[in-house]
Amino acid sequence: MPPLITHLYTADPSAHVFEGKVYIYPSHDRETDIQFNDNGDQYDMEDYHVFSTESLDPLAPVVDHGIVLHAKDVPWVSKQLWAPDAAFKNGKYYLYFPARDREGIFRIGVAVGDKPEGPFTPDPEPIKGSYSIDPASFVDDDGNAYIYFGGLWGGQLQCYQGGHDVFDPSWSGPKEPSGAGVHALTPRVAKLTGDMRQFDGEVQEVVILAPETGEKILADDHDRRFFEAAWMHKRGGVYYFSYSTGDTHYLCYATGTSPLGPFTYGGRILEPVLGWTTHHSIVEFKEKWYLFHHDCELSGGVDHLRSVKVKEIFYDKDGKIVTEKP
Ligand code: FUB
């Protein structure tokens, strides 16, 4: 399948159906002289574009709505606008984005717009109590809204083992817990306030259980432990929490009966693509389910120059997602 967007490098696509069209909120990758490292410094993005399409037919045009938010317009941001997401509630559109603050610590910001294609006006401060990367918003059928987040290594999630508001710089870089019996770090979730701009209550841990033991996934289980790229979708009353395993390059999912979990590991969605990172979203459009993801084919395998793709996905009769190959 060719990339959906070829005039720019785009990654981390969060797709939503708004006003009858598919809107895509990706990262905007750019060339950089920064040396590749496992802290992700080469992912040095500075703005976001929004894209839309009326059809997922491979020949259908994809409209680039231009720059909807730039790092220089967000007072608290120093650099690295990483994977964003968007939500609709109360007649407004909300763009959630992670970036490093002036101290170099990742926080999550929100910007508000009247239309799905923006422009978006950022709040002057990050969401209070937010940390790490890869926000994914989810508005449930009952109107309650949630935001999932977190990412290891360059995403700094491992720096919060002492508490949600205690950043331990000694864990900065490509580090994570390991060892016999040690549980994997969990992604995080918070309920959003009615105005969608703050956390409503405590940040909670998203527990992912191994089906064969009923126990939490272990830190050394790199084929299944959460690394980054959280996403939530709901199908047939089942909550599907999906994510990337990072250094093993899988997109996986776990299912549960509540948006807050616990979730039980269910399997792989996508085998490794060309490029180090893999990141996705899943959305229903015209009664079919689609996986939006990225790879590095267009750049010839340059890890930080990625391109968004889409493919239809399928569920078996028990609701298990059929694993796709790139
Ligand atoms: O795009 C920068 C980072 O790479 C994202 O935040 C991660 O999910 C990975 O795709």
Tell me the pLDDT tens digit for each residue of 93-135: 999 999 999 999 999 999 999 999 999 999 999 999 999 999 9
Question: Binning pLDDT at 50, 70 and 90, where does residue 58 land?
Answer: confident
Name the 3-class secondary structure at 27. strand
Q: What is the pLDDT of residues 154-195, one digit of tens each?
A: 999 999 999 999 999 999 999 999 999 999 999 999 999 999
pTM given for the model: 0.98
CB 242 within 8 A of CB 270: no
Whether pLDDT at 59 is above 90: no
Look at the block and give the residue holding tokens 């959305």.
283
| CA dihedral of residues 310, 51, 147, 151 (deg, nearest 10) | 60
Strands (E), 19-115: 21-29, 47-53, 63-70, 77-79, 85-89, 92-101, 106-113
Question: Binning pLDDT at 50, 70 and 90, where does residue 198 land?
Answer: very high
For the chain, the average pLDDT equals 97
Mean pLDDT along residues 276-302: 98
Whether pLDDT at 279 is above 90: yes
Q: Which residues approach ligand 1 with their CB closer than 6 A?
A: 11-12, 27, 43, 82-83, 133-134, 151, 228-229, 277, 279
pLDDT given for residue 1 in this prediction? 82
Residue nearest to atom 9 of ligand 1 (CA): 277
pLDDT given for residue 303 in this prediction? 96
* ipTM confidence score: 0.97
Q: Which of 279, 292, 302, 307 to mutate to test the pocket of ligand 1 (most atoms within 8 A of CB)?
A: 279
pLDDT given for residue 118 in this prediction? 96
For residue 259, the CA-to-ligand 1 centroid distance in Å is 23
For residue 228, the CA-to-ligand 1 centroid distance in Å is 8
Catalytic residue among 29, 85, 176, 228: 228
Say whether 117 is catalytic.
no
Residue nearest to atom 4 of ligand 1 (CA): 277
| Cβ partners under 8 Å of residue 131, min gap 6 | 105, 106, 107, 108, 149, 156, 157, 160, 164, 167
Name the 3-class secondary structure at 321. strand
Nearest to residue 141, comparing CAs of 54, 239, 216, 38?
239
- CA–CA dist 284, 194 (Å, integer): 25
